[in-house]
């Protein structure tokens, strides 16, 4: 993992110190809320429905066991004993007292973390494939470049006041686990015909009010040109992005209105001008950063482990968990373990302080001290020996973290919604809970297979509803919570935006509607088809008919 140097540490320490002074001035009344607001937002401190909320950056979703323990300490000491992992690989604390926030920032700084650039019109926390460095289909580790981008974009003076917030995602694998096509910039590591490393560059993706799938503007960008090219994109956006209309200010609108080709040509022009003056990325610097992400010292292990196989045969609960919560590791004898944060009765992405500590302990013992956060609001133990999976499963079970549902219908992404969020139209969490309860039968979940339900409490789409196979969006109908359903969205390498299936459903009707959709899928599917395959083959019509009757058409 990357470790702060004195520059990083000083920056974070100084910011925490500065914010302590600002909070003191706010508490004394010297600063009004209007004056304080921009200062607190620069430190990830929001004012939500009930209280302040601190959003902590987890760069490219990588956490050490010690950092996880510090998050548990924060949750227990200054919050209400839990935290909430978001679709941006961040963690949010929902209940801090303003007076305690400086202590929280100090506790974060002590483990090389902060809340800088988790708000505001700047380059936000860079996200990445949660399986970075361990996926067996990976070309190169995206965290190296995500870290380089983090350093380049941190307090970048030119890009601190962009027209709107700006999100960059990086992956090193052909299978897209980082939702590249719905980011302002998506970067996919690839090799050219000579074997040189570079990036496919996508721009203009995004969700929210005007969802768009990003377009590839360069199929191969040599790795050494990464920062100058990013700088060129950001410059064109910074110059031409709209500042007069909040809803038209994201880069996707600019790319769309200019046309991707024109936008790409402008970026190329700008890029050539930056050739000599732009931020260089010399090979030795890439090498220096790469050294932080070298693989741990794996053992040479057999690909099959008799004890593991035996337990899988004998213990149905363990076998079920293995079926959904393990992914193939690039090293033989190891597995990637997904830890679901979607238990029945829980809130998607929520985790208690004790559970954080349990995960930290398991990571330390069995996964080289490493943890990842996924954009689906789950956690990952990236390097577990097959022979130790039993012990890890038991450890997770002891902490209530053994839910065997990753990728299934109950592995729901949900934003905080109206229970916590100031901007919400409707609740998300109880809708997720009701659907999870409805589909609690594990045999049924396995029969349904891979199905992603994503729920947002408003059009800002923090719950990624546009790219859910089934997307649910909370809308306000005369003060009542209603839910609009979209079908056919996907955030993987075949990214697509869901289409609205018809009129919205009330809070009490939405679970039944989801069940109708699932039943229609089961009736329509051909052998081996996932929900998304069936939907793409048959279209929305059969779902509309079953949801609304033939008359709706």
Partner 1 sequence: MRLGDAHDVTKETEAEELIANTEADVAACRVVEPYAMTVEKAARGLKPVSQRERIRARGPTVPYGHHKPRA
Q: How far is the CB of 96 from ligand SF4 (least distance, A)?
A: 18
Tell me how far, at minimum, the Cβ of 49 lies from ligand SF4, in Å.
9
Query: Tokens standing for 218?
Result: 């360069």
| Other CB atoms within 10 Å distance of the CB of residue 292 | 12
Number of H helices, E strands in the chain: 18, 21
* Rounded Cα–Cα distance for residues 262 and 551 (Å): 44
How many CB atoms are located within 10 Å of the residue 530 CB?
Answer: 17
Helix axes 101-110, 6-27, angle to 10 degrees: 170
Reading the block at residue 517, the tokens are: 């959709």
- Residue 129's region, left for phi above 0, alpha for psi from -120 to 50, else beta, is beta
**275 CB neighbour count, 10 Å cutoff:** 11
Task: Please pick, from the candidates 463, 488, 489, 498, the single residue that binds ligand SF4 as defined by CB under 6 A.
Answer: 463
| DSSP class of 308 | H
For ligand SF4, the binding residue among 337, 356, 373, 415 (CB under 6 A) is: 415
Judged by CB, which is closer to ligand SF4: 264, or 432?
432
Q: Is 457 in the site for ligand SF4 (CB under 6 A)?
A: yes
Tokens of 550: 């033939």
Q: How far is the CB of 420 from ligand SF4 (least distance, A)?
A: 8
- List CB contacts of 503: < 8 A, sequence separation 6 or more: 548
Between 36 and 439, name the residue whose CB sits nearer to partner 1.
Answer: 36
Residues 244, 51: Cα–Cα separation, whole Å: 30
CB 458 to ligand SF4: min, Å: 3
Partner touching 17 among partner 1, ligand SF4, none, CB below 5 to 8 Å by kind: none
Q: Residue 92 Cβ, how far from ligand SF4 at the closest point, in Å? A: 9
Query: What are the start-end ranges of the E strands in 229-377?
Result: 326-328, 334-339, 350-352, 370-373
**Strand pairing partners for 191?**
197
Interface stretch with ligand SF4, choices 162-170, 226-234, 434-442, 455-463 (CB under 6 A): 455-463
Q: Which one of residues 228, 367, 456, 520 is an interface residue with ligand SF4 (CB under 6 A)?
A: 456
* 458 scored as a contact of ligand SF4 (CB under 6 A): yes
Counting contacts by CB under 6 A, is residue 431 touching ligand SF4? no
Contacting positions for partner 1 (CB under 8 A): 26-29, 32-33, 47, 49-50, 75, 79-82, 94, 345, 347, 350, 352, 418-420, 424, 426-427, 429-430, 433, 479-481
The option from partner 1, ligand SF4, none interacting with 538 (CB < 5 to 8 A, set by class) reads none
Q: Two tokens at 524?
A: 């329509």
CB 345 to partner 1: min, Å: 7
With CB under 6 A as the contact rule, the residue among 11, 326, 387, 423 that binds ligand SF4 is 423
Task: Tell me which of 241, 349, 382, 416 binds ligand SF4, using CB under 6 A.
Answer: 416
Query: Minimum Å distance from CB 411 to partner 1?
Result: 18
Out of partner 1, ligand SF4, none, which partner does residue 456 contact, by CB within 5 to 8 A per kind?
ligand SF4
Q: Is residue 182 part of the contact set for ligand SF4 (CB under 6 A)?
A: no
Query: Which tokens in the block code for residue 450?
Result: 């891979």
Between the two ends of the chain, the Cα-to-Cα distance in Å is: 54
Among 59, 186, 417, 488, binds ligand SF4 (CB under 6 A): 417
What is the Cα–Cα distance from 437 to 346, expressed in whole angstroms? 10
Query: Least separation, in Å, of the C-beta of 22 and partner 1?
Result: 14
Out of partner 1, ligand SF4, none, what residue 79 binds, judged by CB under 5 to 8 A for its kind, is partner 1
Rank residues 346 and 474 by Cβ distance to ligand SF4 and give the closer one: 474
What residue 463 binds from ligand SF4, partner 1, none (CB within 5 to 8 A, per partner kind)?
ligand SF4
Stretch that binds ligand SF4, among 64-72, 122-130, 199-207, 416-424 (CB under 6 A): 416-424
Distance CA 141, CA 225 (A): 17
Of the listed pieces 121-129, 364-372, 394-402, 452-460, which binds ligand SF4 according to CB under 6 A? 452-460
423 binds, among partner 1, ligand SF4, none (CB under 5 to 8 A by kind): ligand SF4
Among ligand SF4, partner 1, none, the one that 24 touches (CB under a kind-dependent 5 to 8 A) is none
Q: Is the separation of the CB atoms in 448 and 518 below 8 Å?
A: yes
Report what 462 binds from partner 1, ligand SF4, none; CB cut-off 5-8 Å by kind: ligand SF4
DSSP H stretches of helix in 137-225? 142-153
Is residue 460 close enough to count as binding ligand SF4 by CB under 6 A?
Answer: yes
- 158 Rama sector, left if φ>0, alpha if ψ -120 to 50, beta otherwise: alpha
Of 415, 341, 391, the closest CA to residue 371 belongs to 341
Asked if residue 119 binds ligand SF4 (CB under 6 A), the reply is no
Q: Given strand 326-328, what is the order of strands in its sheet?
A: 62-64, 370-373, 379-385, 334-339, 326-328
Alpha-carbon distance 378 to 233, whole Å? 32
The partner in contact with residue 221, picked from partner 1, ligand SF4, none with C-beta cut-offs of 5 to 8 angstroms by kind, is none
57 CB-near residues (< 8 Å, 6+ apart): 44, 90, 113, 114, 115, 116, 117, 118, 125
Footprint on this chain of ligand SF4 (rule: CB under 6 A): 415-417, 421, 423-424, 456-458, 460-463
């Amino acid at each position: 993992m990357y470790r702060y140097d004195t520059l990083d540490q000083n920056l974070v320490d100084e910011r925490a110190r500065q914010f302590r002074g600002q909070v003191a001035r706010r508490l004394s009344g010297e600063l009004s809320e209007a004056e304080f607001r921009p200062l607190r937002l620069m430190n990830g401190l929001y004012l939500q429905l009930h209280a302040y909320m601190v959003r902590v950056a987890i760069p490219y979703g990588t956490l050490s066991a010690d950092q996880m323990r510090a998050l548990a300490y924060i949750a227990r000491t200054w919050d209400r004993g839990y935290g909430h992992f978001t679709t941006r690989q961040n963690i949010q604390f929902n209940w801090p007292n303003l007076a305690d926030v400086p202590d929280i920032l100090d506790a974060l700084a002590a483990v090389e973390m902060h809340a800088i650039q988790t708000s505001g019109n700047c380059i936000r926390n860079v996200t990445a494939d949660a399986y970075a460095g361990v996926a067996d289909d990976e070309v190169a580790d995206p965290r190296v470049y995500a870290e380089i981008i983090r350093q380049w974009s941190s307090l970048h003076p030119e890009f601190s006041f962009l027209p709107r917030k700006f999100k960059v995602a990086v992956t090193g694998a052909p299978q897209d686990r980082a939702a590249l096509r719905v980011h302002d910039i998506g970067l996919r590591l690839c090799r050219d015909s000579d074997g040189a490393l570079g990036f496919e560059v996508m721009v203009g993706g995004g969700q929210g009010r005007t969802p768009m799938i990003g377009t590839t503007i360069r199929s191969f960008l040599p790795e050494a040109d990464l920062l100058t090219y990013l700088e060129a994109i950001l410059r064109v956006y910074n110059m031409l992005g709209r500042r007069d209309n909040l809803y038209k200010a994201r880069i996707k609108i600019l790319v769309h209105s200019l046309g991707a080709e024109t936008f790409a040509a402008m970026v190329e022009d700008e890029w050539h001008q930056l050739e000599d003056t732009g931020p260089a990325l010399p090979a030795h610097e890439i090498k220096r950063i790469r050294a932080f992400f070298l693989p741990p010292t794996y053992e040479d292990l057999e690909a099959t482990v008799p004890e593991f196989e035996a337990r899988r045969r004998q213990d149905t609960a363990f076998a079920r968990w293995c079926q959904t919560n393990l992914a193939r590791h690039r090293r033989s004898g190891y597995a990637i373990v997904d830890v679901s944060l979607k238990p029945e009765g829980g809130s998607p992405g929520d985790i208690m302080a004790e559970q954080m500590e349990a995960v930290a302990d398991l990571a330390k013992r069995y996964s080289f001290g490493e943890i990842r956060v996924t954009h689906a609001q789950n956690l990952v133990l990236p390097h577990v020996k097959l022979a130790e999976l039993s012990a890890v499963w038991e450890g997770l079970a002891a902490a209530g973290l053994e839910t065997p549902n990753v990728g299934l219908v109950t592995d729901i992404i949900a934003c905080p919604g109206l229970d916590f969020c100031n901007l919400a139209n409707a609740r998300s969490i109880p809708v997720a809970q009701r659907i999870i309860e409805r589909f609690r039968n594990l045999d049924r979940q396995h029969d349904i297979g891979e199905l992603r339900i994503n729920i947002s409490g408003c059009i800002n789409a923090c719950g990624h509803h546009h790219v859910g196979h089934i997307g649910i969006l909370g809308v306000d109908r005369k003060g009542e919570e209603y839910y609009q359903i979209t079908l056919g969205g996907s955030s993987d390498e075949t990214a697509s935006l869901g289409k609205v299936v018809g009129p919205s459903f009330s809070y009490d009707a939405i679970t039944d509607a989801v069940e109708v959709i699932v039943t229609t899928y089961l009736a329509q599917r051909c052998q081996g088809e996932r929900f998304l395959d069936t939907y793409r083959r048959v279209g929305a019509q059969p779902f509309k008919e079953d949801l609304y009757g033939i008359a709706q058409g």
